[in-house]
Structure 1
Amino acid sequence: MGYRIGYARVSTEDQDASAQLDALTAAGCDKIFTDHASGKLASRPGLDEALDKLRPGDTLVITKLDRLGRSTKNLIELAEKLRADGVDLMVLHQHIDTSTPAGRMFFTVISAFAEFERDMIAERTREGLAAARARGRKGGRRPKLTGAKLQHARELYDAKTHTVEEIAQLLGVSRTTVYRALSERETAPRESRT
Protein backbone atom coordinates (compact mmCIF):
# COMPACT_ATOMS: atom_id res chain seq x y z
CA MET A 1 0.00 0.00 0.00
CA GLY A 2 1.31 3.42 -0.98
CA TYR A 3 1.62 6.70 0.87
CA ARG A 4 -1.19 9.15 1.48
CA ILE A 5 -0.17 12.68 0.59
CA GLY A 6 -2.51 15.42 1.83
CA TYR A 7 -3.10 18.81 0.26
CA ALA A 8 -4.85 21.79 1.88
CA ARG A 9 -5.55 25.22 0.40
CA VAL A 10 -7.02 28.40 1.85
CA SER A 11 -7.78 31.43 -0.29
CA THR A 12 -5.99 34.09 1.78
CA GLU A 13 -3.33 34.36 4.47
CA ASP A 14 -6.09 35.34 6.92
CA GLN A 15 -7.99 32.08 6.53
CA ASP A 16 -7.15 29.18 8.80
CA ALA A 17 -6.23 25.81 7.31
CA SER A 18 -6.45 23.93 10.63
CA ALA A 19 -9.82 22.25 9.89
CA GLN A 20 -8.43 20.86 6.62
CA LEU A 21 -5.17 19.84 8.29
CA ASP A 22 -7.05 18.05 11.10
CA ALA A 23 -9.20 16.15 8.57
CA LEU A 24 -6.18 15.16 6.49
CA THR A 25 -4.28 14.01 9.57
CA ALA A 26 -7.31 11.97 10.69
CA ALA A 27 -7.41 10.39 7.21
CA GLY A 28 -3.92 9.01 7.81
CA CYS A 29 -1.87 11.29 5.55
CA ASP A 30 1.85 10.66 5.79
CA LYS A 31 2.72 14.17 4.60
CA ILE A 32 0.60 17.29 4.08
CA PHE A 33 1.28 20.27 1.83
CA THR A 34 -0.50 23.63 2.07
CA ASP A 35 -1.09 26.68 -0.14
CA HIS A 36 -2.40 30.12 0.78
CA ALA A 37 -3.65 31.19 -2.62
CA SER A 38 -6.76 31.63 -4.71
CA GLY A 39 -7.80 28.54 -6.63
CA LYS A 40 -7.72 30.68 -9.79
CA LEU A 41 -3.99 31.37 -9.45
CA ALA A 42 -1.70 29.24 -11.59
CA SER A 43 1.11 29.25 -9.02
CA ARG A 44 0.44 26.83 -6.16
CA PRO A 45 3.83 25.67 -4.88
CA GLY A 46 2.31 23.44 -2.17
CA LEU A 47 0.31 21.50 -4.75
CA ASP A 48 3.35 21.27 -7.02
CA GLU A 49 5.36 19.78 -4.14
CA ALA A 50 2.58 17.33 -3.29
CA LEU A 51 2.31 16.17 -6.90
CA ASP A 52 6.09 15.81 -7.11
CA LYS A 53 6.13 13.51 -4.04
CA LEU A 54 3.43 11.15 -5.39
CA ARG A 55 4.48 7.77 -6.78
CA PRO A 56 2.45 4.92 -8.36
CA GLY A 57 0.28 3.34 -5.67
CA ASP A 58 0.07 6.56 -3.61
CA THR A 59 -3.11 8.52 -2.91
CA LEU A 60 -3.58 12.30 -3.00
CA VAL A 61 -6.04 13.27 -0.24
CA ILE A 62 -7.98 16.55 -0.15
CA THR A 63 -10.95 17.66 1.94
CA LYS A 64 -13.10 19.10 -0.88
CA LEU A 65 -12.87 19.29 -4.66
CA ASP A 66 -12.68 23.10 -4.75
CA ARG A 67 -9.40 22.92 -2.81
CA LEU A 68 -7.70 21.23 -5.77
CA GLY A 69 -8.68 22.54 -9.19
CA ARG A 70 -9.27 25.94 -10.78
CA SER A 71 -12.10 24.66 -12.98
CA THR A 72 -13.91 21.45 -13.89
CA LYS A 73 -11.58 21.05 -16.85
CA ASN A 74 -8.53 21.53 -14.62
CA LEU A 75 -9.89 19.06 -12.03
CA ILE A 76 -10.57 16.41 -14.66
CA GLU A 77 -7.15 16.93 -16.29
CA LEU A 78 -5.47 16.62 -12.90
CA ALA A 79 -7.47 13.48 -12.05
CA GLU A 80 -6.52 11.98 -15.44
CA LYS A 81 -2.85 12.79 -14.84
CA LEU A 82 -3.01 11.18 -11.40
CA ARG A 83 -4.69 8.08 -12.90
CA ALA A 84 -2.09 7.87 -15.68
CA ASP A 85 0.64 8.10 -13.02
CA GLY A 86 -0.99 5.29 -11.02
CA VAL A 87 -2.06 7.67 -8.23
CA ASP A 88 -5.53 7.66 -6.67
CA LEU A 89 -7.49 10.70 -5.49
CA MET A 90 -9.50 10.73 -2.27
CA VAL A 91 -11.90 13.61 -1.50
CA LEU A 92 -13.00 13.34 2.12
CA HIS A 93 -16.12 15.53 2.26
CA GLN A 94 -17.58 14.27 -1.02
CA HIS A 95 -16.67 10.62 -0.25
CA ILE A 96 -14.83 10.20 -3.54
CA ASP A 97 -12.15 7.56 -3.98
CA THR A 98 -10.91 7.12 -7.55
CA SER A 99 -9.51 3.71 -6.72
CA THR A 100 -13.07 2.47 -7.41
CA PRO A 101 -15.11 2.74 -10.66
CA ALA A 102 -17.97 4.40 -8.76
CA GLY A 103 -15.52 6.91 -7.30
CA ARG A 104 -14.19 7.82 -10.75
CA MET A 105 -17.70 8.36 -12.13
CA PHE A 106 -18.84 10.29 -9.06
CA PHE A 107 -15.76 12.54 -9.28
CA THR A 108 -16.67 13.61 -12.82
CA VAL A 109 -20.27 14.42 -11.87
CA ILE A 110 -19.42 16.24 -8.62
CA SER A 111 -16.69 18.34 -10.23
CA ALA A 112 -19.19 19.55 -12.86
CA PHE A 113 -21.63 20.56 -10.11
CA ALA A 114 -18.85 22.29 -8.14
CA GLU A 115 -18.00 24.51 -11.12
CA PHE A 116 -21.69 25.17 -11.78
CA GLU A 117 -22.14 26.34 -8.18
CA ARG A 118 -19.11 28.68 -8.39
CA ASP A 119 -20.42 30.13 -11.65
CA MET A 120 -23.86 30.69 -10.13
CA ILE A 121 -22.38 32.49 -7.10
CA ALA A 122 -20.27 34.69 -9.37
CA GLU A 123 -23.30 35.48 -11.55
CA ARG A 124 -25.46 36.38 -8.52
CA THR A 125 -22.67 38.62 -7.20
CA ARG A 126 -22.39 40.44 -10.56
CA GLU A 127 -26.19 40.86 -10.74
CA GLY A 128 -26.31 42.21 -7.17
CA LEU A 129 -23.55 44.73 -7.85
CA ALA A 130 -25.23 45.84 -11.09
CA ALA A 131 -28.57 46.31 -9.29
CA ALA A 132 -26.88 48.29 -6.52
CA ARG A 133 -25.11 50.52 -9.09
CA ALA A 134 -28.44 51.09 -10.87
CA ARG A 135 -29.82 52.37 -7.55
CA GLY A 136 -26.81 54.66 -7.19
CA ARG A 137 -24.94 52.60 -4.61
CA LYS A 138 -21.35 51.52 -4.91
CA GLY A 139 -19.94 48.29 -3.54
CA GLY A 140 -17.26 48.14 -0.91
CA ARG A 141 -16.87 49.65 2.52
CA ARG A 142 -18.63 52.79 3.63
CA PRO A 143 -16.33 55.83 3.58
CA LYS A 144 -14.70 56.55 6.95
CA LEU A 145 -14.74 60.30 6.36
CA THR A 146 -18.23 61.66 5.80
CA GLY A 147 -20.25 64.70 6.81
CA ALA A 148 -18.69 66.94 9.44
CA LYS A 149 -15.43 64.94 9.64
CA LEU A 150 -14.93 65.19 5.89
CA GLN A 151 -15.66 68.92 5.93
CA HIS A 152 -13.26 69.41 8.86
CA ALA A 153 -10.51 67.50 7.04
CA ARG A 154 -10.96 69.68 3.96
CA GLU A 155 -10.90 72.90 6.00
CA LEU A 156 -7.72 71.88 7.83
CA TYR A 157 -6.06 70.88 4.56
CA ASP A 158 -7.12 74.07 2.75
CA ALA A 159 -5.90 76.25 5.65
CA LYS A 160 -2.46 74.63 5.26
CA THR A 161 -2.04 74.66 9.04
CA HIS A 162 -1.83 70.87 9.40
CA THR A 163 -0.06 68.11 7.53
CA VAL A 164 -2.06 65.19 6.18
CA GLU A 165 -0.48 63.04 8.92
CA GLU A 166 -1.74 65.47 11.61
CA ILE A 167 -5.22 65.60 10.05
CA ALA A 168 -5.36 61.81 10.02
CA GLN A 169 -4.34 61.62 13.70
CA LEU A 170 -6.90 64.28 14.69
CA LEU A 171 -9.72 62.44 12.93
CA GLY A 172 -8.63 58.93 13.91
CA VAL A 173 -8.16 57.66 10.36
CA SER A 174 -5.21 56.71 8.17
CA ARG A 175 -3.33 59.09 5.89
CA THR A 176 -4.59 57.04 2.94
CA THR A 177 -8.19 57.75 4.00
CA VAL A 178 -7.48 61.50 4.14
CA TYR A 179 -5.72 61.46 0.77
CA ARG A 180 -8.58 59.48 -0.78
CA ALA A 181 -11.20 61.93 0.57
CA LEU A 182 -9.24 64.90 -0.70
CA SER A 183 -8.61 63.35 -4.12
CA GLU A 184 -12.33 62.56 -4.52
CA ARG A 185 -13.02 66.25 -4.07
CA GLU A 186 -10.41 67.09 -6.70
CA THR A 187 -12.01 64.74 -9.23
CA ALA A 188 -15.61 65.76 -8.42
CA PRO A 189 -17.48 67.85 -11.03
CA ARG A 190 -16.87 71.58 -10.51
CA GLU A 191 -20.53 72.47 -9.97
CA SER A 192 -20.78 70.02 -7.04
CA ARG A 193 -17.88 71.66 -5.20
CA THR A 194 -18.63 74.23 -2.55
Structure 2
Amino acid sequence: MDRLGRTTNQLIELSHDLKERGISLQIISLGVDTSTPAYKPLGLEVEKEVEMALLLYDSRKYTIKEITEQTGVSKAKLYQVLNVR
Protein backbone atom coordinates (compact mmCIF):
# COMPACT_ATOMS: atom_id res chain seq x y z
CA MET A 1 0.00 0.00 0.00
CA ASP A 2 2.86 2.40 0.72
CA ARG A 3 4.00 2.07 -2.88
CA LEU A 4 0.64 3.24 -4.21
CA GLY A 5 0.76 6.59 -2.46
CA ARG A 6 2.77 8.45 0.11
CA THR A 7 -0.26 9.82 1.89
CA THR A 8 -3.78 8.66 2.61
CA ASN A 9 -5.11 11.31 0.24
CA GLN A 10 -2.91 10.04 -2.61
CA LEU A 11 -4.23 6.52 -2.06
CA ILE A 12 -7.84 7.75 -2.04
CA GLU A 13 -7.27 9.80 -5.19
CA LEU A 14 -5.75 6.77 -6.90
CA SER A 15 -8.76 4.72 -5.87
CA HIS A 16 -11.09 7.37 -7.35
CA ASP A 17 -9.09 7.59 -10.59
CA LEU A 18 -9.17 3.82 -11.01
CA LYS A 19 -12.89 3.71 -10.21
CA GLU A 20 -13.58 6.33 -12.90
CA ARG A 21 -11.79 4.09 -15.39
CA GLY A 22 -13.82 1.06 -14.28
CA ILE A 23 -10.90 -0.53 -12.46
CA SER A 24 -11.28 -1.91 -8.95
CA LEU A 25 -8.53 -1.82 -6.36
CA GLN A 26 -7.66 -4.90 -4.33
CA ILE A 27 -5.23 -4.77 -1.42
CA ILE A 28 -4.95 -8.41 -0.48
CA SER A 29 -2.86 -7.88 2.65
CA LEU A 30 -5.57 -5.58 4.06
CA GLY A 31 -8.54 -7.48 2.70
CA VAL A 32 -9.74 -4.45 0.72
CA ASP A 33 -11.64 -4.87 -2.54
CA THR A 34 -13.30 -1.76 -3.99
CA SER A 35 -15.39 -3.85 -6.37
CA THR A 36 -17.48 -5.34 -3.57
CA PRO A 37 -20.79 -3.86 -2.44
CA ALA A 38 -19.40 -3.56 1.11
CA TYR A 39 -16.92 -0.95 -0.11
CA LYS A 40 -19.50 1.23 -1.81
CA PRO A 41 -21.16 3.54 0.73
CA LEU A 42 -24.69 2.90 -0.60
CA GLY A 43 -24.71 5.84 -2.96
CA LEU A 44 -23.77 8.36 -0.29
CA GLU A 45 -21.46 11.15 -1.26
CA VAL A 46 -18.78 10.91 1.41
CA GLU A 47 -15.57 12.80 1.72
CA LYS A 48 -12.22 11.19 0.97
CA GLU A 49 -11.29 10.81 4.62
CA VAL A 50 -14.46 8.85 5.34
CA GLU A 51 -13.82 6.60 2.35
CA MET A 52 -10.33 5.86 3.63
CA ALA A 53 -11.75 5.19 7.10
CA LEU A 54 -14.15 2.68 5.52
CA LEU A 55 -11.29 1.00 3.68
CA LEU A 56 -9.34 0.65 6.91
CA TYR A 57 -12.42 -0.55 8.80
CA ASP A 58 -13.23 -3.16 6.15
CA SER A 59 -9.67 -4.48 6.34
CA ARG A 60 -10.37 -5.49 9.96
CA LYS A 61 -6.75 -4.79 10.86
CA TYR A 62 -7.25 -1.48 12.65
CA THR A 63 -9.12 -0.40 15.75
CA ILE A 64 -11.65 2.40 15.61
CA LYS A 65 -9.19 4.57 17.55
CA GLU A 66 -6.41 3.89 15.02
CA ILE A 67 -8.75 4.64 12.12
CA THR A 68 -9.90 7.94 13.59
CA GLU A 69 -6.32 8.97 14.36
CA GLN A 70 -5.05 8.11 10.86
CA THR A 71 -7.92 9.64 8.91
CA GLY A 72 -9.10 12.50 11.11
CA VAL A 73 -12.68 11.20 10.90
CA SER A 74 -14.49 11.43 14.22
CA LYS A 75 -15.70 8.26 15.88
CA ALA A 76 -19.29 9.56 15.70
CA LYS A 77 -19.04 10.20 11.94
CA LEU A 78 -17.51 6.78 11.32
CA TYR A 79 -20.28 5.02 13.24
CA GLN A 80 -22.89 7.16 11.47
CA VAL A 81 -21.64 6.07 8.05
CA LEU A 82 -21.30 2.43 9.16
CA ASN A 83 -24.90 2.41 10.41
CA VAL A 84 -26.16 3.61 7.03
CA ARG A 85 -24.37 0.93 5.02
Q: TM-score range by the shorter chain?
A: 0.3 to 0.5
TM-score, L = length of structure 1: 0.23
- Find the structure with the greater CA-based Rg: 1
Judging by fraction of residues, say which structure has more strand: 1
TM-score, L = length of structure 2: 0.48
Higher relative contact order at CA 8 Å, sep ≥6: structure 1 or structure 2? 2
